[in-house]
Amino acid sequence: MSKKEYEDRTDLEKIQSQWNKLTGLHSREEFSGAVVRAATAAEIAANFAVRQEFESQSKCTEGFVNNLLRWANGIEGKLNHLLIPMTEGSKHHKSLTEVKKSVERTNKKRNAVAHQGEFCNIDESKEVIDDARHFIETVVKLYDPGFKLKDKKKRKK
């Protein structure tokens, strides 16, 4: 059986693929790479949530929503310009604002790695990965209550 091409995967499958990759990177002590993958998985979780909100609130086309996601440019843009305003007054708003700090910490470290060439040690990477897991599982469970990230490989403690 052949593996599904990445671009053909659902957001949830992409999140899990990123998570599998980061656990492998972490086990090989590639902590900075694992941090980037954790942030990528968190951003895909935000994409998933935005798509779910658009699906439930509007008749916007997939292409339009994808253009908005590109326009929002990054996890902070997606949260601050799309997801949090879209959920104002809804049952999801409080949960999203509560997990915003954890993803901001993840994104800050990701940006330091990606844009400033910073390296991460095991403790920093574990903290970022834990923040990303908290964000991803909280956000995705709002729309898919049975969702849970699966660890394929053991991360270094």
Each residue of 32-43: pLDDT tens digit?
999 999 999 999
pLDDT at 153: 52
- Quote the tokens at residue 71: 């326009």
Reduced to 3 states, what is the DSSP secondary structure of residue 65?
A: helix
Which residue ranges form the domains of the chain, and what is each CATH number?
A: 10-143 (1.20.120)
| Tokens 């601050």 found at | 80
Q: Any residues with CB less than 8 A from the CB of 118 and at least 6 apart, and which?
A: 32, 109, 112
Radius of gyration (Cα) for the chain, nearest Å? 15
- Quote the tokens at residue 118: 């910073």
pLDDT at 1 over 80: no
pLDDT at 18 over 70: yes
pLDDT band at 155 (very low <50, low <70, confident <90, very high): very low
pTM of the model: 0.92
Q: Summarize the confidence of residues 94-114 as an average pLDDT.
A: 95
pLDDT band at 151 (very low <50, low <70, confident <90, very high): confident
Question: What is the torsional sign of CA 47, 52, 58, 59?
Answer: positive
Alpha carbon distance 87, 50 (integer Å)? 10
